[in-house]
Amino acid sequence: MAVDAPDAFSASTPLFIVANAGSGHDAADDTRAAMTKVFTAAGRSHEFVLIEKGGDVVAAAQDAVERARAVRGAVIAAGGDGTISAVAQQAADSGVLFGIVPLGTFNYFARVHGVPQDAAAAARALLTATPQPTQVGCVNNRSFLVNASLGLYPELLEDREAYKQRYGRSRLVALVSGLRSLLREQRQLHLEFGIDGEIRRIKTPTLFVGNNRLQLERVGLDDAAALDDGHLVAVHPRPIGALAMLGLTLRGALGRLGDADQVQSLVFRELEVRPRRWARRRIKVGIDGEIVWMRLPLRFRAKPGALQFLMPAPAARAAVE
């Protein structure tokens, strides 16, 4: 698909905001009200494209992107990492300007770019933002902003979502669900890596491909700087049991994962991953917190500058925490 050159971003650029629909006193209603107040006070043309409960975020993102393209507008994702990633994919494919109002639990993409975590402050930051070409990762035909993974990590995501549905969304709930998952017996993946014409064979409980410098730095991986040079970073532990995996998780929480002998990492621009011990055609992949089934082999690649991200002006940026 041909991508047009990005439009300039100015006070006359209309905004099309993809957001979850609320219900009366729902927090989503309060968030939209806060954004509306900011944009109305600034005289900024804006329109919400709502994701109804149980609705399709991809369809809403496509709708918003088409509306933005028709009037040289910008599309804004208001939500967590999954919503932001889904809207970013459509924006990157079309060349439309893309901004965010982060509403999730971890918000790694927002934090690494200094986007304020408060909805009103993030909306104000959009008013003076500047388009900046930003890298996305890609696995097969799906883009990701933060990470993509297979094996244990997608299982952790599924367990975390189940716990959140039952106990609410918080980092404590995410931690408890993760510990429970880690203590189960770990299934091992037998994989082949194809990189630079070379085949490497590995056995691991999980493969993690990172595209977010902050997330990699926080767990203590020195390869995080490679993202700035148009690379992605693949991380995988050697075959280990549940208690050893728990130990690695604690190391990561202390920012010392890179010192662990059981952990290996690989910096790459393109990487093909295929199973070598079973004849399955599809595999479960975690992409920015969402679970999808993808056809094998998996082809990962970095796409530097693929997304025209609306970066907050220095004075509007939040400190990276």
Token pair for residue 126?
A: 């959009």
User: What are the CA-CA distances from residue 63 to residues 69, 97, 296, 307, 310 (Å)?
Assistant: 10, 14, 30, 18, 19
Give CA–CA dist 29/172, Å, rounded.
25
In the chain, what is the straight-line distance between the N-terminal and C-terminal CA atoms, in Å?
A: 37
User: Is residue 192 classed exposed, middle or buried when 0-12, 13-18 and 19+ CB atoms within 10 A define those classes?
Assistant: middle
Token pair for residue 188?
A: 């091992």
Amino acid symbol at 218: R
**Is 148:285 a contact under the CB 8 Å cutoff?**
yes
Which DSSP helix (H) or strand (E) runs through 64? helix 57-70
Out of 66, 158, 185, 290, pick the active-site residue.
290
290 is annotated as an active-site residue: yes
**Is 207:189 a contact under the CB 8 Å cutoff?**
yes
Residues whose CB falls within 8 Å of the CB of residue 13, separated by 6 or more in sequence, listed in order: 7, 72, 73, 74, 97
Residues whose CB falls within 8 Å of the CB of residue 26, separated by 6 or more in sequence, listed in order: none
Residue with tokens 């500047």: 130
| Phi and psi, residue 259, nearest 5° | -85, -10
User: Which residues are designated catalytic?
Assistant: 290
